Chain A
Amino acid sequence: MPATTDRFSRLAALKPTRPIPARPAALLTPGEADSVGRLLGAGVANTHFGEHLAIRNWFSTPEFTEPSCIALELLSRTRNESLSRKTRTALEDPTKWLFLDTETTGLAGGTGTYAFLIGLGWWDAGGLQVEQFFMRDFTEEYSILHELSTRVVERPVLVTFNGKSFDWPLLENRFTMTRSIAAPKLAAHLDLLHPARALWKLRLGSVRLAELERHVLDAPRLGWHRENDVASALIPQFYFDYLRGGPAEPLAGVVRHNQMDLRGLAALFGKINTLLSEPADSANEIESLDLFGLSRFLQRRGDADRAHSACAQALAIGLPAEFRPKARRDLALMAKRRGEHERAAEIWLDMVADLHEGIHACEQLAIYYERHAKDLAKAAQFAKLAVAALRRQRANSRDLLLTARFARLEEKFLQRVARLGRKSRLSSQARPRDARVVAEPKASSGFW
């Protein structure tokens, strides 16, 4: 009926989002059903749930890195949480490690996103063994999930790059969707995205794995190169096209991409492992910005001593001008926490004129002179200095929110000046018998 045809052709909901590739007209010749397998260098694997393709390769690079206890401790430490003994034991045994990276049909998440290629890697014979499971169609999903599950049971320590928030939850969803294969339990999960971000974001801006390979891992020495690498954004479409009878060739590129990501991940672990386990002052080859990144990472993970020395060293080697004030501020605060008040004050005095950190320095100095040096006049002097600086900044600011913030800060400093004034009058009215000090409200450093 023509009306019915019309009805469908007019539907906005049925408009294709991109052109559909034409199915090749040629008939399959016998044996060609395996052509994808040959193209990918894969064999057909059989499981209880059916078939899928499996690809196995051993690579001599990256070389096995013995994980150091210090590095593991730092990497696995999360806020307010100490590791259970079981987790620690599992972590310390590198034969239980499994590097994991998946290629998916999208980044949207939710129940309609599939992992069509699951790549796994583990240390073997001094190098890296890489195994990949590929589903030739959705019917093979159970089979690759089953295979993944057996591998994870053997090696229950997962190492990923952004896998904690993406790959693993997605796979857990997939397991749930089967209603028959349970998601395997992990003994531990190390995700390198956050450490890498803390360490190298300052220097590189972006911490994509390919960037890290190029600028951190010394790409030429890695043993692979990404010259013809496929763009991640195109990967889902390659797979969809292949499903609809389009060419399988691009998938070979996807498989290689996944292998490189896994090897990059293993290499990245080696790099971080080295960086975290060496005493900072011996790390002569490290760039100053990386040292500062390391310092910030160590601060966050609670290794104050090494954080302090890494920061000092970064400043000693020489940081780019834009990072210097931040590093000095960090260093001064760390010194303060270590009880080295005079040392901290020296740094602050150096910072008083700084545009961005000057006010913070004034506040810290006001506290320092009041509490430690017991020089109320000097304390008041720095508080007034801050007020003057704030007024200048407020006059120049066009941003309403910022102006309001300056005004609030100014108010706080004025209160401080007033309180210091009262306090000094009190102590000058010589009452030696009952020299009570007005209670100091909590320092407002938290505000910064």
Chain B
Amino acid sequence: MPESLAVRRSPMSATITRVHEVLDAFAARDHSGEILTAVRHFPARDAQWADFPAWVHADLAFCYAAKGIRRLYIHQAAAAETVHAGKNVVIVTPTASGKTLCYNLPVLNEVLENSDTRALYLFPTKALAQDQLAELHDLNQRLQNRFGVFTYDGDTPADARKAIREKSHVVLTNPDMLHTGILPHHTRWTRLFENLRYIVIDELHTYRGVFGSHLCNVLRRLRRIARFYGRDPQFICCSATIANPGDLASRLLESEVEVLNVNGAPAAEKTFVFYNPPVVNRALGIRRSYINEASRVAQEFLKRDLQTMVFANSRLHTEILLTYLQDANPQPPGKPENIRGYRGGYLPNERREIERGLREGKIRGVVSTSALELGIDVGSLDTVVMAGYPGTIAATWQRAGRAGRRRGSSCAVLVASSAPLDQFIVRHPDYFFGNTPEHAFIQPDNLEILINHLKCAAFELPITPRDKFGDVDLPDLCARLAEAGFLHLAGDNFHWTQEAYPADTISLRSVTSDNFVIVDVTAAPNVIGEIDFPSALAYVHEKAIYLHGGQQHHVEHLDFKERKAFVKRVDVDYYTDAVRYTQVRILEVAAASQQTDAVSLGSAHSRSHGDVLVRSQVVGFKKIKFFTNETIGDGKLELPENEMHTTSYWITLERPLLDSLPFTVSERQSGMFGLLQALESVATLLLMCDCRDLGTAIGERPFILRPLKVAVGPSSYSSDPHAVIPSEAKDHASLSITSPFEADCSPARLQDAISSNAKEFFEPNLYLFDAYPGGIGFSEALFRTHALLIEKTRELIAACPCKQGCPSCVGPAGDLAPRAKEAALAILDRLRA
């Protein structure tokens, strides 16, 4: 289904001519019309101008004029006016639309009017703060250093800190530093807090999920301290385009926020192309490697001297792509390398040099991880190639925005991998281009997160009866903390009573900070990486093959006490896949909705969300041969059970629905597992989250008030979808979780057991749960968007050209019963009814 290429035949620049040469070449090879699934042309848009507001200080206006800025874009003017009117604001703009002026103008204006004014800028990374520092330094020089601006982060030298606390009008920092370095020492920052007028939060959309839930609590603490010093600061936020910027902002700030969703910045013409690597085996749904294809696409651009940025989704892929492209474009003799890599782990100076090289055009190609997705200034590039879908629509637009930031014409190409999400996106271009980007969710009242921040808050200032911390029941929580020995009630106030400094042990980027280090003991012991606790059980259990930097490692020993995994380099032709056994118990149903009218008993189902207890355990592993994917061995493991209280959304397939399905029991089983996998993929798409943020499980619907017994397959598509559904008989016989495995670990045998059993009473629940203790709000969101989830999942499976299932929809055909794909579709049709 290639779209018409004719739309874009408008007057063209030289760049776009060369871009079109490349596209035409691809189209020519695309006989079946399945490679270029979308070619969209976006015409250039003119700037919409507004004058500087009259209240802007003459010196500031003069200094912007000296930089060549004599007029504002309409969104900049609107932002400045809203801030000037004293309102909280969130500005929604793409990159390169001059958003920094939106906050710098009103903030600096106020500093010039009143030199006591202080402002705090928060950026998600140190690199972004550095980038902004350069811009502010430039403005400051033009203003004869009338204000102080400094970054304050882990790299700030100790002897400079005191001066920064006193002299900095604008402090640029990150949430982590605010959390551990500034708030717990607020008495040293009295100058800042007593005069704190503005808080700028850039890249607001990055604060979603766990990170956002943490930030919301950090802001609660910040505002409490500001109130202590008699201030109620105003917030200025900038966000990339997401579905709910205003909602996210008001949840993070817990106050009213005005949303400015206009953009007056000019845009160059741009072509956006979806590229699906050709199918090499239609029955198995196998496509050509997207990494190789991305490299080929990028090379076509580079060959025509188009400056190109390639995005990969992992460090490893960055390095592979870099190798390919450097091979194809050898370094000119006596000149610096013109294809460079850019990712975390490169030294700051090297990064600065690459950024400069890109701006000056000396570097012709760069391969980057998401590191360049945020607002680092690298100038405008001609083309962007994305190797794999970045995971969210917002991130995709951010990356695409790297091409043609200012003028000229440009092209962005998304090369899809065979993951379900990628395939859904490239086969449904309208979904992507139809302006329905993801929602960002946070759950600041996740108890684990909330209580940790309450500890920090109590450390910072005793908690008084007048204190507010969101809407939470402070006296109750404080009493519990006092009972556990963290706080002590004296008079009306709760005081911190521990020697430890609580912020040090709380990481904003996860719920628990527990992790394992991976030690390579092939030669002298050498730490090669780290892995979080839940993943450790699945990836570095003993005898596992752990992949790091493309190198295989055999796990010799997993030291639970010391949190270390000892590995040795090996070269084998298999990988390992952990067999995880997951049990979900429903604790409390928050909401449920039943679909059982008499007319359509065949569609009888219900959906619910609520609190659950998830117990999971890695009970064994399989050795799987590369390329053929045959299981060549397995083993049992005795690892501790992992218990997590979280929230879940689930669909219950009721008896009449199951009865109406014209499939055998094992086909139904496979259909359900396949369906669950597809549901998960689509859920991550709708929720704007990572696939690791969700867990899946299939269990039996509980009888009323009876604890539920469930067994489940692993959630990733490479894993075995046959994992156990214990029979009704077994369930009654023993509530022990491990019993099926003690009896027999092999899925095939269990499958037999299930099939041979009359499954009369089995009504399955398909669970999608938050993979974080306490939950971070995905479940409720899924419950609300149920209809859309079912609709999009059906589209994903139906549009997949494979015959009996493939990794891009319900899972690889070999792992499933023959009619699994059909069964999944049949269930979906009934759920839609």
**Residues on A facing B (Cβ under 8 Å):** 1, 3, 6-8, 10-18, 20, 105-112, 114, 137-139, 172-173, 176-177, 179, 236-237, 240, 243-244
Contact = CB atoms under 8 A, between A and B. Distances in A.
B485 A111 contact: no
Interface in B120-146: none
B497 A7 contact: no
Per CB-CB distance, the 3 closest pairs between chain A and chain B, nearest first, are A112-B459, A106-B499, A138-B490
A110 B185 contact: yes
Contact of B451 (A6, A14, A16, A179): A14
A144 to B, nearest CB: 13
Given A111-B185, A240-B485, A105 B499 contact: yes
B461 A111 contact: yes
A106 B459 CA distance: 12
B645 A10 contact: yes
Contacts of A20: 483-485
B522 interface: no
Nearest to B611: A3
Contacts of B486: 16
Contacts of B436: none
Nearest to B225: A111
A237 B500 CA distance: 11
B458 A112 contact: yes
Interface in B485-529: 485-486, 488, 490-491, 493, 495-502, 512
B447 interface: yes
A16 to B, nearest CB: 5
B455 A177 contact: no
Contacts of A8: 447, 480
B645 A7 contact: yes
A177 B485 contact: no
B462 interface: yes
Nearest to A108: B501
Contacts of A177: 187, 461
A112 B485 contact: no
Contacts of A173: 187-188
Most buried by A among B188, B481, B485, B588: B485
Contact of B490 (A7, A12, A137): A137
A138 B499 contact: no
Contacts of A237: 499
B156 interface: no
A10 B484 CA distance: 13
A13 B455 contact: yes
Contacts of B502: 112
Interface in B451-493: 451-452, 455, 458-462, 480-481, 483-486, 488, 490-491, 493
Majority SS of interface residues in chain A? Answer: loop
Nearest to B512: A12
Nearest to A137: B490
10 contacts: A3-B588, A8-B447, A10-B643, A12-B512, A14-B481, A111-B187, A138-B490, A138-B491, A173-B187, A240-B488
A13 B451 contact: yes
B459 A111 contact: yes
B485 A244 contact: yes
A235 to B, nearest CB: 10
Given A3-B587, A111-B184, A112-B184, A11 B451 contact: yes
Contacts of B613: 6
Contacts of A3: 587-588, 611
Nearest to A236: B499
B186 interface: yes
Contact of A111 (B460, B484, B497): B460
Contact of A14 (B458, B480, B500, B773): B480
Given A15-B484, A106-B500, A139-B491, A112 B460 contact: yes
Contacts of A244: 485, 488, 497
A303 to B, nearest CB: 27
B505 to A, nearest CB: 10
B462 A138 contact: yes
A11 B498 CA distance: 18
A15 B452 CA distance: 11
A16 B512 CA distance: 16
A176 B190 contact: yes
A236 B460 CA distance: 18
Contacts of B448: 11-13
B228 interface: yes
Contacts of A240: 485, 488, 497-498
Given A13-B448, A13-B455, A137-B490, 16 more contacts: A3-B611, A7-B645, A10-B643, A15-B484, A16-B486, A17-B485, A18-B485, A106-B498, A108-B499, A108-B501, A110-B184, A111-B184, A111-B187, A111-B459, A138-B462, A138-B493
Contacts of B461: 111, 177
A173 B773 CA distance: 36
B496 to A, nearest CB: 4
Nearest to B500: A108
B587 A6 contact: yes
A173 B588 CA distance: 46
Contacts of A14: 451, 480-481, 484
A13 B452 contact: yes
B611 A17 contact: no
Contacts of B588: 1, 3
A243 B495 CA distance: 11
Nearest to B499: A106
Contacts of B190: 176
Contacts of A15: 484
Contacts of A13: 447-448, 451-452, 455
B507 to A, nearest CB: 13
Interface string B169-210: 000000000000000111110100000000000000000000
Nearest to A170: B187
Nearest to A110: B184
Contact of A16 (B187, B484, B493, B611): B484
A11 B458 contact: no
B730 to A, nearest CB: 26
Contacts of A108: 499-501
Contacts of B773: 12
Contacts of B611: 3, 7
Contacts of A109: 185, 501
Contacts of A243: 488, 490, 497
Most buried by A among B187, B460, B502: B187
Interface string B620-648: 00000000000000000000000101000
A239 B611 CA distance: 40
A388 B268 CA distance: 69
A165 to B, nearest CB: 12
Contacts of B500: 17, 106, 108
A7 B643 CA distance: 12
A243 B480 CA distance: 16
Contacts of B481: 14
A232 B570 CA distance: 51
Contacts of A7: 447, 587, 611, 645
Contacts of B643: 10
B665 to A, nearest CB: 34
Contacts of A137: 490-491
Contacts of B458: 112
B154 to A, nearest CB: 17
B484 A105 contact: no
A244 B501 CA distance: 20
Nearest to B496: A112
Contacts of A105: 497, 499
B498 A17 contact: yes
Contact of A11 (B447, B483, B488): B447
Nearest to B447: A11
Contacts of A179: 228
A15 B645 CA distance: 15
Nearest to A177: B187
A111 B447 contact: no
A138 B187 contact: no
